[in-house]
Structure formats: C-alpha cells, structure tokens
Structure 1
C-alpha cells in the first residue's frame, strides 16, 4: 500500500509517499481501507520533531514515522475477538491518541475498535475524517470529559461547566477545527454564542448558529463584550489572557492550545482556567455521530488534497485562517 512517511524531522517537504506493507491487525482491532484522513496540529508538531514542547520533555522519535490520527473508511478484516464491527462497515475515528501511533496517512490502517464508531450516514468520508479530533476536543471540553485522567498541563481533572439556556459562550478562533464545533455544541445546549473570527467567516459561522460575530481584525473583544460565562479559546498563545476581562466573576476560561495565565490574576477575578488532553473515545464518537445524522452538527471542510500531496496540505495548514478542516483523500 501507499503511505506518507518522513525519515527526519522538518518542513512539509520531508513528507514522502512511500510503498509500505499493509499492517497486520491484533486482538481488538480491525483493518480499515482508508477513504479520507483528517489533518490536525499534532500531525505537523510530530513532523517538526515536537519542537512545540520544551526540549527536556520532547519524546525520542524513531524514524520513519507515519503521521495521522483521524480517518474514515471501510472495514476490510476483523480480529477474531471483534463483535461490534464487521467487514463492510463504514467507520470513523481518532486512533491511539494521545500518542504517535495512529498512522492514518495511509491507504490501510489497523484500528482499535475502542477508538472507532460507525460513520454517520448523513456525512461522507471526507466530512467524517475531518471530525474526530476536533469534535472530540470540543466535546470533552464542553460536554463530557469521558475519563478521569488529569490534564498533563495542569495536573487537574477537567470538569465541564454545564451549558444551559441563557448562558453566554464566547469562542475565539471560531472558524477553525475545534472552534466551529464548539460554536455548534454551545448552541445545541442553548447558549447565546459569540464567535471571534475574521469577518470573512461570518456567513459560515452564522449558518452554524453563532448569534454574534466579532471581527478580530477590526475590533477587540474586550472593548465590546463583558459578563461572559464561558470562553473557549481555540487559538491560545501569549495573547490568550486578554480574554480574561470579558468573563464575569466566577466565569471559566478554556484554552485549547498552549497558554499561560497568572494564577494571582485569575484568583483575583475569580476565574477558573481548565484544559484537557483530548483522548480517543469510540463511544463518544458514536454519540456525536447521532447529532450528525440528525443534522444538529456539521463539518466544515476548508480544502482537500490527495494523500500523495500531504505536503501541500501541511503547507495550507501553515498559512492559517482555516475554515473548518483540511482533509486528505486516500485512493486504494
């Protein structure tokens, strides 16, 4: 089969379209013929050699590596102990995360059934492949963590704030992968949703249910809103703390990407800051899949690339300003 591998860390140019053996399956696994692959930030963090992490915490990488966690496809073979999936089933999932062993940038993948769900009939393989990591991140932040593993960033177990009608939720980076699902889930729960994104995404976000849009290219959120119950910041970085001032006392800040907050400042403002490490969860994806089938969730697709052009997909990701998800299509 064909798969994307890289033999040294580097830029998108290190991604090679190689011939490799079809993987063998073990207990509790199925072999999936991959139709589409979701592109996520951990894919390019891995390709870059995990430079995003402090040097003393970086894992030792053994090359060659095949990146990828998210995929949608059709089951081709099942291990003898598998009862929930059969040959011919359409499935989607985020495989073996956190970790670097998903290996979904390939025409076939060995997938643990615990990480899989049946693909919703209402969406195609491209949309299904774009969903898992982003939608599970939003779900585990906002709805149900699904485990009791402490966050590696805080050492605390995250407790989602129940979203109820009448609450106001602000989503920064609302048009991106996690952001556009956070908008939809908050709206599904009855919140008034304020989206922060470039104005060019306004139509997209309004269609997803955003009640208001703040165009960050022209307006600072802190200048126009206050008294927010919950902020989910899908951008993070050193500027994330600017959103603390829009929260009411007792409010909650959920940074999705790396961001540091002054504990004295958050204590003074009576603000809770909490984050998670998203984890694979097939049963949660099955529950989310029912929302796709009911039309209560949709997947925004920014662009698609053939698997052989994974480098181009990573170049697109580096440009930023993504609307939804970037997806690779895998022809077998």
Structure 2
C-alpha cells in the first residue's frame, strides 16, 4: 500500500479545507471499498482525513421526508422503522446491498460514492482503463463484459454503477446535501452522477474536497406500494446483474403515478423516465408492464458479453411491477 498521512478531522470546515487544499487527499469514513482499492494499488492518496467523528450521522423525520446524515450506516438506516413502513424498497435495497458486517461499517454517503466494480478498473496491472488512467482505453470493451453496463455507456467506458440503495433513491428524487469551500449545495440524485462520455474518470458533480453531509429521502404516501428486486448470480453478497426499484399509485385499476429506476445495467443509477411515462394513466396489467419494460431499455447498447442483460432487465422490471401492483398483503 502506498504510504499516506492520517489526520482526524475535528469539524466539517476543517475537513473540507484540508482535503480541498491537497489534490492528493481523500476523506475516510467506513472505508469498506476505499481501503480495498488502496491495498490493490488503484487508489494511492498521500493523505486520508478521517471524518468518522464528525456530527454527520443520525436520522431525522418530518412529515414529508427522512433526512439521513452521511455517516449513518446502512444498517442503521435499514433498521429505522419508517423505512419499513413508508419506504420499503429503500430498506430492501439496503439489506440486499451488503452483508450484515459490511452494513454495520459502510456509510450512506460512502455507498453513494462507491467506485466501479469493473475488474479492469480494479486491476492496476491492466493499463487500458480510462477511469483509472484517462486516455488509456477501455479493456472491458474487448474483454469479459458480464458485469458491465448496457445503458449510459460510451466508447470510452462501460463500467457499471454498483450501488443498490442509489437505485430507489434515484427513483424517489432524493437530494444530496454537500459542503464545500464555496458553501453548501443541494443536488438532486438525478443530477448527481455523470455518465462516462469521454471523461469516465469524472463520476459525479462533486468538486474535490466537497463533502456529502446528508441525504433527504422523500417519503411515499401511506399506502403506496413499492418494491426492489435484485437478480444476481448467487444469493449472498453479490452485485446485481439487473435490479429494479418501483413505486406505484394505482386507483381503480389505473396507474396514477409511477417511479421506476434500474440497477445493474447503467453506468449511473438509471431513472427509467420513459417507462414512467408509459405507465401513467393506463390500466395496470401484464401488457402495460411489458411495454413499459421495452421503453425502459430503449437505447441499450449491449456488447456480446452483456446482451443477455437486455431481456433480463425487462423481465426484472416486469416482475417488480407485477409484485407492486398485486393485492396488498
């Protein structure tokens, strides 16, 4: 591992100032992915600023939203009763996203910022990785592609965004609050992540040294059904081949409101706007759900190793829609 200086931040202003002033500095929270990447030689910061003692944890409830401190662990949020009552698909995504041990270490802010699960990005002996070495190429395009993206890809990168909980949060229009040298910002999840384009190394809109402080999660109205389905190669601790987060309002058999996002298929958590448009105002049923799934995957760019994901993602979404539309348990 590359040698680094360790510092513990005493307040958020100090943490932001320290990292902002040093291009080779990084924040450290749960570290569940970050430390692995450092050990593998993918990340090599000269300084780590530990933010775990900052008052950025905790869960606050209002009538319309849940505000989650960035240092709240995945397990703490999953255990919050409101998640089960009003946001079940967020809770399901949290529980399916990692083992119990990891959920007790990983923070919500860190989960949103986890790096790509591309095997080529995570292997520093592979020279061609635009995400790690801008301008070097993309080994995945001609390599093993099974765990890669089919939506939002470019000729420069097909790496998948692996977060589970980011999928329902994107469907909900959650807001990410940050603090930087220029003050605070509130960024919609739908604008937080950046597709690779020709700059795959720039994954989100955060500036260097800008710190996530909290996430606002809008509450679904009581009685609105939601569900998260994750399809994976094995039942425990595996990343999604495809996933879907769905919330529906159905009245008299007609879909009045729909929120749909996909995981396991996009370079960013993928909001399926076209599927939502198809669903709204139409009678709920298998035919409608299949048309919505077709719309959600319109524009997919599969490669030979990811071609199976197109149909799998459609079936995952149809199954999730059918589950949500079913009779209340």
TM-score after normalising by structure 2: 0.23
Where relative contact order (Cα < 8 A, 6+ residues apart) is larger, the structure is 1
